[in-house]
């Protein structure tokens, strides 16, 4: 007589067989769902580029949640595990320090977009001149998660995606990297990257025309994120904070920027969607000028002026044309 354990095992085996037959009879849909290239992107612009280039052949997730400031990314154990499980991790070395070490340990499935983007711009790291020892220690603690830089040291600006032509270059290189992971999709990735480049070059042409004749060439922004945009379109950017929004300026620096705003004829100081506007609003109030929101596209929120990169960049263009007095 069969024991209880034997009957349970027999029933389990029968159920497993039935499930297997059902799965086999479900056609190619289930197989296709599991065959997609799993891509983990560090933050929004890389996520958007990966989705555009990968198309239906990839499943893209972002490590930075919508509405979160990517500079401040902290990885959970599950996030770290997702890096090793992904077919490809697309990140930007030096932009999110918490991710750099984890990416180095993840193996050969990581791809740094920085080389394709040609990170050629540098900016001077904000100092804390004029602070008390207590204020300096407080700022050092706030910036503890980021790489230490000497005061006044030139550091690489990572915000390349605000120049559409550099993002197009990243799209082309990403297509080649995806083809290494998924050779059968090489033609699709190349075609999608070409379509992405067409869209980005059209955007670039609009911005070249729209910013060609501006009354004010100095761009005062909440943090130093717009260097590549300024370089591409003939503007000069002054970031109130450093490359990271958490790098707060000293009172002396705030006074200096307020004076610059008055002397250069700046009429608008730009705040951001993901950064507390208080410091930028203070500068604007001290200088007697208005504020407007300029999105550095580090992430999308419900307050973003568009549903994707292209829409938000065109909204930024309209904001700049008004704020800089462009003809």
pLDDT (tens, 9 = 90+) of the chain, 327 residues, equals 443 333 333 334 444 444 333 344 333 333 333 569 999 999 999 999 999 999 999 999 999 998 888 998 999 999 999 999 999 999 999 999 999 999 988 889 999 999 999 999 998 765 544 444 454 444 444 444 444 445 567 899 999 999 999 999 999 999 999 999 999 999 999 999 999 999 999 999 999 999 999 999 999 999 999 999 999 999 999 999 888 887 888 899 999 999 999 999 999 999 998 889 999 999 999 999 999 999 999 999 888 999 999 999 999 999 999 999 998
Q: What is the CA radius of gyration of the chain?
A: 24
Strands 122-124 and 154-156: antiparallel
CA distance 46 to 52: 10
| Per-position b or e across 56-79, b if 16+ CB within 10 A of its CB | ebbbbebbbeeebbbbebebeeeb
> For residue 58, what are the contacts with CB-CB under 8 A and spacing of at least 6?
36, 37, 38, 39, 50, 51, 178
Exposed, middle or buried: residue 124 (CB in 10 Å: 0-12, 13-18, 19+)? middle
Domains and CATH numbers, the chain: 36-120+162-201 (3.40.50.1980)
- Check residue 134 and give its pLDDT: 52
- Identify whether the C-beta of residue 123 lies closer than 8 Å to the C-beta of residue 158: no
- Check residue 22 and give its pLDDT: 38
> For residue 182, what are the contacts with CB-CB under 8 A and spacing of at least 6?
37, 57, 87, 189
- Identify whether the C-beta of residue 245 lies closer than 8 Å to the C-beta of residue 69: yes
- Check residue 182 and give its pLDDT: 98
In angstroms, what CA-CA distances link 213 with 12, 38, 86, 147, 232?
75, 44, 46, 38, 14
Question: What residue has token string 């992107």?
Answer: 41
In angstroms, what CA-CA distances link 55 with 8, 26, 157?
45, 24, 29
Question: In 10 A of CB 291, how many CB atoms?
Answer: 18
Q: CA-CA-CA-CA torsion for 260, 265, 267, 271, nearest 10 degrees?
A: -30
Token couple for 169: 């270059």
Q: What angle do CA 222, 225, 231 make, to 5 degrees?
A: 120
For residue 299, which of 33, 46, 37, 80 has the smallest C-alpha distance? 46
- Check residue 214 and give its pLDDT: 97
- Check residue 149 and give its pLDDT: 47
For residue 291, which of 302, 279, 280, 303 has the smallest C-alpha distance? 280
């Amino acid at each position: 007589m069969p024991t209880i354990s034997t009957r349970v095992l027999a029933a389990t085996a029968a159920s497993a067989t039935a499930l297997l037959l059902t799965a086999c009879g479900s056609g190619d849909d289930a197989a296709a769902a599991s065959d997609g290239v799993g891509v983990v992107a560090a933050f929004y612009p890389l996520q958007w580029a990966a989705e555009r280039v990968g198309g239906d052949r990839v499943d893209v997730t972002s490590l930075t949640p919508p509405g979160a400031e990517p500079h401040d990314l902290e990885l959970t154990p599950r996030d770290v595990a997702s890096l090793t499980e992904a077919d490809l991790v697309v990140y930007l070395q030096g932009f999110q320090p918490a991710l750099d070490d984890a990416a180095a340990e993840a193996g050969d499935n990581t791809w740094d977009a920085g080389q394709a983007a040609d990170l050629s711009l540098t900016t001077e790291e904000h100092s804390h001149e004029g602070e008390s020892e207590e204020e300096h220690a407080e700022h050092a603690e706030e910036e503890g998660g980021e790489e230490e830089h000497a005061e006044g040291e030139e550091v690489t600006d990572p915000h390349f995606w605000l120049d559409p032509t550099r993002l197009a270059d990243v799209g082309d290189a990403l297509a080649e990297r995806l083809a290494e992971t998924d050779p059968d999709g090489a033609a699709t990735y190349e075609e999608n990257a070409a379509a992405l480049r067409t869209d980005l070059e059209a955007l670039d042409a609009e911005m070249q025309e729209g910013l060609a004749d501006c009354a004010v060439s100095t761009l005062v922004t909440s943090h130093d994120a717009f260097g590549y945009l300024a370089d591409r379109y003939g503007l000069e950017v002054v970031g109130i904070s450093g490359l990271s929004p958490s790098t707060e300026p000293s009172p002396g620096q705030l006074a200096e920027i307020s004076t610059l705003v008055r002397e250069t004829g700046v009429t608008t100081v730009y705040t951001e969607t993901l950064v507390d506007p208080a410091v930028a609003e203070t500068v604007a109030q001290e200088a007697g000028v208005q504020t407007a929101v300029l999105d550095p596209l580090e992430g999308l929120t419900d307050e973003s002026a568009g549903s994707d990169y292209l829409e938000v960049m065109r909204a930024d263009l309209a904001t700049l044309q008004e704020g800089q007095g462009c003809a």
